[in-house]
Amino acid sequence: MPSAIAYPVEKCGLTVSIALFDLDNTLIGGDSDYLWGCFLAEHGIVDGDFYERENRRFYDQYKAGELDIHEFLRFQLSLLAEHDMDTLNQWREEYVEEKIRPILLPKAQVLIDSHKDRGDTLVIITATNSFITAPIAQLYGVEHLLATEPEISEGRYTGSVTDVPCFQEGKVEKLAGWLEKQGETLDISWFYSDSHNDLPLLNKVSHPIAVDPDEILRQHAVDHGWPVMSLRD
């Protein structure tokens, strides 16, 4: 697989370069949403057969570009609402050790560090909720995380989200709000993603990069002359 990353020659004046990274199957060698469900089922926290079946159904819909994000979030976030924070945080620590550390990608860290060394603003932007993804962003040393945000009330998750899910067009909307608050633009920007679900945002940045892409995104990248690269060994 060819690898190509286009950097501008220089950053001039106060121009800020922004490097955006999808998470699942881009910076990690798997899907953190799906693996969270697997962890819950394997540890007997949920009804294994039912949860595995539904988890797979939603994941297949995501890959096909047919996911009803609101239906999925009702399914996934209901568990957060059923348990206290201490219990959830303990499960999350175990999940990160069992499911996430083994699929961190060394080449992803090199890519992140190359942008960091240039002084770029680094952002992980993912449909997966922030409860799951915040510790993964920390492992990679990425300060900014834009994710689907579960709602918290009186110290517990409610099972709802605080705003638009960070998915498909929702990523564009969520990023636009963040950029306005930061006083930044996408004039010099990269977005690294594996999924055709991210085409709305890939089409907004100045440097879209397909990373180990699905077949739909791969063909789109080829048709539009976008670089295609791999972070896998």
Active site residues: 22, 24
Phi-psi region of 104 (alpha: psi -120 to 50; beta: other; left: phi over 0): beta
DSSP classification of residue 43:
T
H helices present in the chain, as ranges: 32-42, 48-64, 69-81, 85-95, 106-117, 130-140, 169-182, 199-202, 215-224
Name the burial class of residue 233, with classes exposed (0-12), middle (13-18) and buried (19+) by CB atoms within 10 angstroms of its CB: exposed
DSSP classification of residue 28:
B
Residue type, 176: A
Q: Give the rounded distance of the alpha carbon of 121 from its chain centre.
A: 16
Integer Cα distance of 152 and 154 in angstroms: 7
